[in-house]
Amino acid sequence: MSLKFGTSGLRGLSVDLKGEPSFVYARAFALYLFNSGLAKQGDKVLVARDFRDSSPEVAANCMGALKQAGLEPVDCGTIPTPALAHFGLKLNAASLMITGSHIPADRNGIKFYRPDGEIGKTDEAAIGAAAELVRADRGTLKFLPGDGEDRGAEAADLFLARNKALLKAGALKGLKIGVYQHSTVARDMFVDVITHYGAEVTPLGRSETFIPVDTEAVSPESIRLMQNWAREHGLDAIVSADGDGDRPLVTDETGTPLRGDLLGLIAALFLGADTVVTPVTSNSGIETAGDYRVERTRVGSPFVIAGMDEARAGGAAAVVGFEANGGTLTGSDFVVNGTTFTALPTRDCFLPVLAVLSRAADQKVALSKLAKDFALPVAAADRLENFATERSAALMAYLRGSAQNLDRFLTPIGEAAETSDIDGLRVTLKDGRIIHFRPSGNAPEMRCYVEAKTEEAAAELLEAGLNEIRNFKA
C-alpha cells in the first residue's frame, strides 16, 4: 500500500485509495479519536470531497469505515476544505476531506481534522500506528462503503456567511473580476461572494474534468489562458484556487499571477497581525514589509499551525500564518468590519483573495502596481515532475554531504555564502541571490525556489537551478 503523509494529509495513487486502504485509514482515524479521547461512540464525523473522479468512492469507503467503527458519518458533499474545517469547529466534530489538492487526477488523498482543528505531525504518527493495528486485525473488518446525513448546504452556507461579513457592503464595486472555475470546489462560492461585494464577475474555464492547478507553480499554459481572458474581458483581476479550495490564485489586470506569499502578507496586514508564521520558502522580504514579528517554519500546514500555537503560547494576540502557495491560516480571532472573524487554523483561499481585492479597491490602484509597491525581491518557483523520490533523496544527501559537493553543484550558478537546512536546502549566494532546493512532500517532484533583484535574473536563476537538478546523476 503506497500511501504516506506529506506536507498536508495522506497521499497516494487513486487506485489505492479507491480500495481497502482508504477504509483502513478511516477506521484508523476512528481508533485514534477514541484512544485520544477526542470522540466517543455515536459522535459525528464530517466527510467532504473534491471533484476528482475517484473522490466519491473514497468518501463512501471512509463513511463505511466510520459507521462500522460506531461513529456517525455526515456527508458534506463537494465544499472547500476551509468550509469543512469551519463547520467541524462549529459542531466540535472531527472531519475528513477527500482531496489530492493540486496533484494530478491519478492521485488522491485524505486530510484529517480533529474536533479542534487540523491534525499535526504527532497525530499523523498516531494515525499511522493505528492503521497498522487495523491491518493486523483486518479479519474482523467488513470492507463495505457507506453514506451519511447530507449537511453540505448547511456547511457551505456557514462558510459563505463568514466571508460575506468580512468586508463592507459594496467594497468591490467597480471592479471587473474573472473567476477561473476549472474544477475547484471553490468555484461557485467565489462567484457568490465576490458578486455580493458589488464586483462584476465573469465565470471562466469551468470544467467537468479534473484539472490539477498548482497555485505555487502556475503552468505556462494556465498563465497564457488567463492573460488571454484578461485582455478579452478587460478584467481587473482573475481569481481561482486549487482543487480543494485552500490555496488561492490571484492575477493582476494582465492575467499574470501574483505570488502566493504576497497574498498572505496582504491578508496579515488586512487583519492587523502582530505575528506572522510562514515557511522558509516564503519571500525573504516579508520580515521588513510590516510591523509584526516573523517566525519561519518547515513547509506544510502542520508546521505553520505548530508555529502559530507557539506564538500564542508566547503571548502573541493576533496571529496569522500563510504559506508560499498563498493558503492563509488564522491562529486567533480578529475583529473585522464590526464582527468577530473567528480563528480558522487551516489553509483558506477566500481570506487572501478578499483582502487583496479590497486593498486594490480601497487604494484605487491596479493590482500590478499594488504588487510592485511592496518592492519585495523577485521570487520564482517551479518543479520537475516525475522526479523519483529516491533520486530526490540522493540529490539532497549529496548537497548536504560536504561544502565541496555543494560548491561543485553550484559551479554554473554562483558561490554559496550561507545555507539554511530548515526544509530542503536554501542557499544564499555571495551576490545576494537565493536558491532553494526541496523535494515535494506530496508527490514525486523536485521543487526549486529562487529570489533575485529582477524578473530576468530570477528566471535565469530558476532555469539554471532546474537544469542542475535535471542533470544530477545519483
- Cβ distance 8 to 301 under 8 Å? yes
Q: How many CB atoms lie within 10 A of CB 169?
A: 10
- What single string gives the DSSP state of each residue in 384-436? ESS--HHHHHHHHHHHHH-HHHHHHHHTTT--EEEEE-SSSEEEEETTS-EEE
Catalytic residue among 14, 55, 101, 301: 101
CA nearest neighbour of 352 among 380, 378, 325, 377: 325
Distances (CA, A) of 123 to 10, 59, 126, 169: 12, 21, 5, 41
- Cβ distance 70 to 120 under 8 Å? no
Distances (CA, A) of 389 to 21, 152, 413, 440: 21, 37, 24, 9
258/250 Cα distance (integer angstroms): 6
3-state helix, strand, coil split of the chain in percent (to 5) is: 40, 25, 35
**Contact residues for 70 (Cβ-Cβ < 8 A; gap 6+):** 30, 41, 42
| Cell numbers placing 408 | 561543485
SS3 of residue 331 by DSSP: coil
| Cell numbers placing 200 | 462584476
- What single string gives the DSSP state of each residue in 139-205? GG--------EE-HHHHHHHHHHHHHTSS-TTTTTT-EEEEE-TT-TTHHHHHHHHHHTT-EEEEE-
Mark whether 101 is an active-site residue: yes
Q: Is 42 left (phi over 0), alpha (psi -120 to 50) or beta?
A: left
Q: 361 exposed, middle or buried (CB, 10 Å; 0-12, 13-18, 19+)?
A: buried
Active site residues: 101
